[in-house]
Amino acid sequence: MLDRPHRCALAAASRGDEMLGTAFPANRILLVEQPGGWGLGGLAGSRFDPLIARRLISTLGEQGVRVLAIRRPGRHPAPAQHLWGFADCRAGRQGIVWGRYRAAEDLLELDPVTLAEQAKDTRPVYAVCAHGTRDMCCAIEGRPVATALARHCPDRVWECSHVGGDRFAANVLVLPTGQLYGRITDPAGLVSATEAGQVLTDRLRGQIGLSPAAQAAVVHAQRELGLAMVGAVRLLQVQGSPPDVQLVRLAVPGGSCTVAVQQVVGASAILTCRDTKAKVPLSYRPLWLRAD
């Protein structure tokens, strides 16, 4: 009998791996349309000029901007000009601005400060990780979700390169509000909630740009207090650092609250489809919530 390939998403679901606090730290995103296949490096492993891609990723990364390659779900004719989008996900500044580029070099002229001032479009955009060459679960789980989402809002859905947390596929990043979801199995439900200005708290990995403990605390408060509206819970302060218990103070309607969050070191396991050695996962467990 042939050995069945390891599927990290199935294994993680079976183990019950916790998703809270696993969103990436960048709070601004540059989306670069690049149709066709992507190698391990995403934009740097595509038909996009690899030298310019690495320079772009490095330069913007130093400014807290993550670069993601994007493409439309399904098959489409190659456009004469490709789109780029800049999403600012910082609280109070959330918005997207779009443009087009002919040559890769054009993107080197983009200035995050200027783009943040121009980012005014607040319509939800759905970026679904479908980076199959990096992890086959992202393709197997992500692509059908992207296709299903595109049936509801075709102009605002993209497949995107690696967003981390492969074992939580299908992973969906909602911009510009910055929620990163995992294990999405009901695309229609996600669209319904998002278009109504709400979050699906049971599928949230966290808010990009926040520390892991802050992400876990925000989601915990949303769940415990029944606050489903986007922006209903805001970070005020984080005290302490891992491995100590961290106290996260949050603004909520009518006042504030504090959530205690503990970092948990899990049992070593194969965490992605490409891993050959076991790794130790970290998760973030809310311990209690109290009103201030």
Average pLDDT of the residues of the chain: 95
User: Based on the structure, what is the number of domains in the chain?
Assistant: 2
Confidence of residue 8 (pLDDT cuts 50, 70, 90): very high
Q: Do 144 and 255 belong together in one domain?
A: no
* Strands 179-181 and 204-207, sheet pairing: antiparallel
Phi, psi at 210, each rounded to 5°: -100, 160
In a domain, 2, yes or no: no
Each residue's pLDDT tens digit, 242-269? 999 999 999 999 999 999 999 999 999 9
Q: What angle do CA 205, 291, 243 make, to 5 degrees?
A: 50
Q: Do 216 and 108 belong together in one domain?
A: no
β-sheet with 82-88: strand ranges across: 95-101, 82-88, 28-33, 65-71, 157-160, 125-129, 172-175, 179-181, 204-207
Per-residue model confidence (pLDDT) at position 5 = 55
**Domain end position, chosen among 202, 236, 262:** 202
**Domain end position, chosen among 202, 227, 262:** 202
Q: Which residues pair with 291 in a beta bridge?
A: 257
In a domain, 234, yes or no: yes
Each residue's pLDDT tens digit, 200-249? 999 999 999 999 999 999 999 999 999 999 999 999 999 999 999 999 99
Do residues 81 and 105 lie in contact, with contact meaning Cβ atoms separated by under 8 Å?
no
Domain hosting 97: range is 8-202
**Domain end position, chosen among 180, 202, 224:** 202
Per-residue model confidence (pLDDT) at position 87 = 98
Distance CA 197, CA 177 (A): 10
Q: Do 151 and 264 belong together in one domain?
A: no
Per-residue model confidence (pLDDT) at position 34 = 94
Q: Do 75 and 191 belong together in one domain?
A: yes
Phi, psi at 93, each rounded to 5°: -125, 10
Q: Do 59 and 192 belong together in one domain?
A: yes
Q: Which of 155, 79, 189, 30 is nearest to 172 (CA)?
A: 189
What 3-state DSSP class applies to 283?
strand
Per-residue model confidence (pLDDT) at position 75 = 76
Each residue's pLDDT tens digit, 109-140? 999 999 999 999 999 999 999 999 999 999 99
Q: Do 50 and 137 belong together in one domain?
A: yes
User: In the chain, pLDDT over 90 holds for what percent of residues?
Assistant: 94
Phi, psi at 54, each rounded to 5°: -65, -40
Which helix (H) or strand (E) segment is 260 a member of?
strand 255-265
Q: Do 143 and 255 belong together in one domain?
A: no
Do residues 274 and 134 lie in contact, with contact meaning Cβ atoms separated by under 8 Å?
yes
